[in-house]
Amino acid sequence: MKRRVAILISGRGSNMSALIKAATAPDFPAEISLVISNKADAFGLERAKAAGVTTLVIESKPFGKDRAGFEKVLQDALDQHGIELICLGGFMRLFTAEFARAWYGRMLNIHPSLLPSFPGLDPHGQALRAGVKLSGATVHFVIPETDAGPIVMQGAVPVSDHDTAETLSERILEVEHRIYPAALSLLANGKVKIEGDVCTTAGSGSLENYLVSPVLS
């Protein structure tokens, strides 16, 4: 049986689209059963509808600081649709510790940096200001702290001297679209295990690929 997944979005939904596309493969172990946006005008909603996925809007704004009130409505929707796993795809709303704990081990997030470096806002700008030569993306389990939690998968890209936040974000986004479906597949297949703060993957293999930056020509 395929695991039933909800994707939570707030914006353009490109990671959501990558997950929806991957899940159309017959052997993918999860199905995208529901897309929920906390913003009625999120472009991702159109993309999800075009892909034939059920969508739902639960506006968070009217709840203001009442996070628990918003989460009660969210949890009801997840229950109604029999959701087993959640993927956050650019979902720009913080959860209460209670909600994060209730879904611990069953809720993934993607962040465009090699965590634990550069959590929070403007990770691309943070990476450029720090002068790192490699950056990337991280899929991790959600915990009460923002952009933290056991790491399932990371992908790295070189950072060029000429990069802007825009060019770096485009390069990282390509990696995001590769690793998010791969990480969800691992989770849905029961291949990942959390031990304390660390996530391990059954059958993870070759350590021979590496990335060096800068490369001199």
Can you give the binding site for ligand GAR, defined by CB under 6 A? 9, 11-15, 44, 89-90, 110-112, 147, 173, 176
| Least Cβ distance, residue 154 to ligand GAR (angstroms) | 12
Which single residue brings its beta carbon nearest to ligand GAR? Answer: 90
| Least Cβ distance, residue 9 to ligand GAR (angstroms) | 6
Q: Edge-to-edge strand order for the sheet containing 134-141?
A: 55-57, 30-37, 3-9, 85-89, 107-111, 134-141, 151-158
Query: Which C-beta is closer to ligand GAR: that of 80 or that of 156?
Result: 156
Query: Which C-beta is closer to ligand GAR: that of 163 or that of 176?
Result: 176
Query: Which C-beta is closer to ligand GAR: that of 74 or that of 179?
Result: 179
Query: Which C-beta is closer to ligand GAR: that of 115 or that of 192?
Result: 115
Angle at which helices 165-188 and 14-23 pack, to 10 degrees?
Answer: 30
Q: Alpha-carbon distance 117 to 114, whole Å?
A: 6
DSSP β-ladder status, 30-37 and 55-57: parallel
DSSP β-ladder status, 55-57 and 151-158: unpaired
Query: Which C-beta is closer to ligand GAR: that of 96 or that of 200?
Result: 96
Residues involved in catalysis: 111
Instruction: For residue 215, give the DSSP letter.
Output: P
| Least Cβ distance, residue 182 to ligand GAR (angstroms) | 15
The 10 Å CB-count burial string (b at 16+, else e) for 87-100 is bbbbbebebeeebb
Asked if 90 and 68 touch (Cβ cutoff 8 Å), the reply is no
| Least Cβ distance, residue 102 to ligand GAR (angstroms) | 20
| Least Cβ distance, residue 72 to ligand GAR (angstroms) | 23
Q: Environment class of residue 121 by beta-carbon count within 10 Å: exposed (0-12), middle (13-18) or buried (19+)? A: exposed
Q: Environment class of residue 126 by beta-carbon count within 10 Å: exposed (0-12), middle (13-18) or buried (19+)? A: middle
